[in-house]
Structures are given as C-alpha cells and as structure tokens.
C-alpha cells in the first residue's frame, strides 16, 4: 500500500505551496511509512508516500522518465510488469530500476492511455505529461486501490488516495450529497463514483480520466467491465481443474517481492 496526492492547474501554470502538498501527503502517512517524495513544477504539485515492496533501493516516487517528459505517482502492484518490461525493451526502452513503477511510466510513454488495458494487477496512479500539460488518472479493473478526485472552481484538479487528503484544500466545496448519505445508510458504504461530498468523486473501477488544459470538465472513460456472457464448460471435472490452476497461478504472480510476504485466509 502506498499513497498518492496531486494538484494540477488546468488554466495556466500557477505555483502551488509546498506546505499544502506536504500536508495532503502527511495525512496519509500510514499508507507508506518507508519514504516520502514531493515534486513541484509549473502548474503541478505531486506527493507520494511509499511502502517499499519491489526494488527497495531505487523505486522512489515521484518518478521521472529518462527524457523528463513524464512523471508518475503510483499505488499498487502490477503482476505482469516483467512481461511488459520485456515487451518495452524490445521497442527500445531502457530501464534504470527493477520496479513495476518504471514499467508503468514507460508503458504510458509507449502506448498512452491504452497502456492501462495491458496491466494485470491492483493499482491507482497518475501520470503528468510536461509537454502536453495533461494529467492521466487510472484505477484497476475491480477498484482494489482507491482514487479520489475533484475539480475546483478556479480550474485546479486535485486527486488523492484518501478523501481526507483533499480536505486539506481550504476552498474545497464541502456540500454534502444527500444521495450519498442515503446510500451509506442503506448499504453501509457509498458506491462509486459518489462520495459524501458533491464536489469529490471516486474514479470508478475499470476507468481512466485524462485532464487536459483549457478544455471542459474531464469525463472518466471505461476501459473494462465484468463480462457476463456464458462460457461453455466441457465438464464439471474440467471446470474444477481450471479453477485450481487459476488459483495457483494467481497466488504465484503475487509472490514477487523483495520483502517477506504473508497471507490472510479470510481474503479481506
């Protein structure tokens, strides 16, 4: 688990106070007690709290691409990052680290927003493009990793791994959404994309968002949904065998780490 925060200016290149992004970052310190990173640039401020899992020595964030065009903050794990790395190396991309963060960064440089469709894992991340002045946000297929975002009246767009980080923004509109309250009382939680505040949204599972300068309000786009089409099964025995193989393979891909691992029988 890591934590990401950020603010971008969709109307210009305003400078954001370091104290603000540091407060937003510190609020979610529990998500990543190992390392802290902050980047400030024209029209952008990014923060990250890291829980080190892979490549403990060189996976610090925010992480820049070698050419200085893209910078990423990321929470999660991409289980097929080694396969993607090999594919990117075949395209001519070079890597300075062993971590999945750099694979995400290079994948975005290679394939843009469509890169998220290649990822297998749990993730929520943001990529800032310094040339195009765009912010790309993406969340994994089932929404395992959280990502909140809001657009402020003055053209700023902010995001964070937790809602309370956004509350550090003094002029964030705090009008309660009564529909969200009703859903919470009925269901015990607020379904995506609502939050308790009208101004703040969850990026829904299987969606990405591209915030561009000087355009209308950004709209999340769906890149994946659960397929409900019937799948032919040869026999009950074949289905049982396939289930066992899929579970074994799912466990195996989650064992890639540079730190000790544990498992909960409950599944959370």
Known catalytic residue at 150: no
Strand partners, 221: 208
What does the alpha-carbon distance between residue 240 and residue 238 come to, in Å, rounded to a whole number? 5
Structure tokens at 2: 């890591």
Structure tokens at 147: 């990502």
Q: Which of 1, 2, 86, 232 is catalytic?
A: 2
pLDDT at position 256? 77
pLDDT at position 33? 84
pLDDT at position 215? 80
CB 203 within 8 A of CB 209: yes
Q: Dihedral sign for Cα 185, 186, 191, 197, please.
A: negative
3-state secondary structure of 214: coil
pLDDT at position 131? 94
Q: Model pTM?
A: 0.91
Report DSSP letters for 28-42, one per residue: TGGG-BSEEEEEEET
pLDDT at position 267? 62
pLDDT at position 50? 85
Phi, psi of 31 (to 5 degrees): -75, -25
Residue in this structure with the two tokens 């964070």, named with its chain if needed = 160
pLDDT by residue for the chain (268 residues), tens only, comes to: 799 999 999 998 999 999 999 999 999 999 988 889 999 999 999 999 987 766 666 788 899 998 999 999 999 999 999 999 999 999 999 999 989 999 999 999 999 999 999 999 999 999 999 999 999 999 999 999 999 999 998 999 999 999 999 999 999 999 999 999 999 999 999 999 999 999 999 999 999 999 998 887 889 999 999 888 888 888 999 999 999 999 998 888 888 777 787 777 776 5
């Amino acid at each position: 688990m890591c934590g990401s925060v950020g603010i971008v200016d969709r109307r210009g290149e305003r400078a954001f106070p370091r104290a603000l992004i540091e407060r937003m970052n510190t609020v979610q310190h529990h998500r990543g007690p190992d390392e802290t990173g902050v980047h400030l640039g024209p029209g952008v401020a990014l923060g990250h709290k890291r829980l080190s899992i892979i490549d403990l020595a060189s996976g610090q964030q925010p992480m820049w691409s070698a050419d200085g065009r893209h910078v990423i903050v990321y929470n999660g794990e991409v289980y097929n990052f080694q396969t993607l790395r090999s594919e990117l190396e075949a395209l001519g991309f070079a890597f300075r680290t062993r971590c999945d963060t750099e694979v995400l960064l290079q994948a975005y440089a290679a394939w843009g927003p469509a890169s998220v469709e290649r990822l297998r894992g749990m993730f929520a991340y943001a990529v800032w493009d310094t040339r195009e002045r765009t912010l790309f946000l993406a969340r994994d297929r089932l929404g395992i990793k959280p990502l909140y975002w809001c657009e402020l009246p003055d053209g700023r767009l902010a995001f964070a791994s937790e809602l309370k980080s956004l509350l550090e923004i003094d002029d964030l509109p705090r009008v309660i959404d009564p529909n969200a309250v009703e859903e919470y009382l009925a269901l015990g939680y607020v379904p995506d994309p609502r939050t308790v505040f009208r101004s703040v949204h969850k990026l829904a599972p299987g969606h990405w968002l591209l915030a561009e300068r000087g355009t209308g309000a950004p709209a999340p786009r769906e890149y994946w949904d659960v397929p409900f089409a019937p799948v032919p099964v040869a026999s009950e025995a074949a289905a049982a065998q396939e289930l066992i193989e899929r579970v074994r393979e799912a466990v195996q891909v989650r064992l890639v780490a540079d730190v000790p691992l544990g498992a909960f029988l409950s599944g959370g």
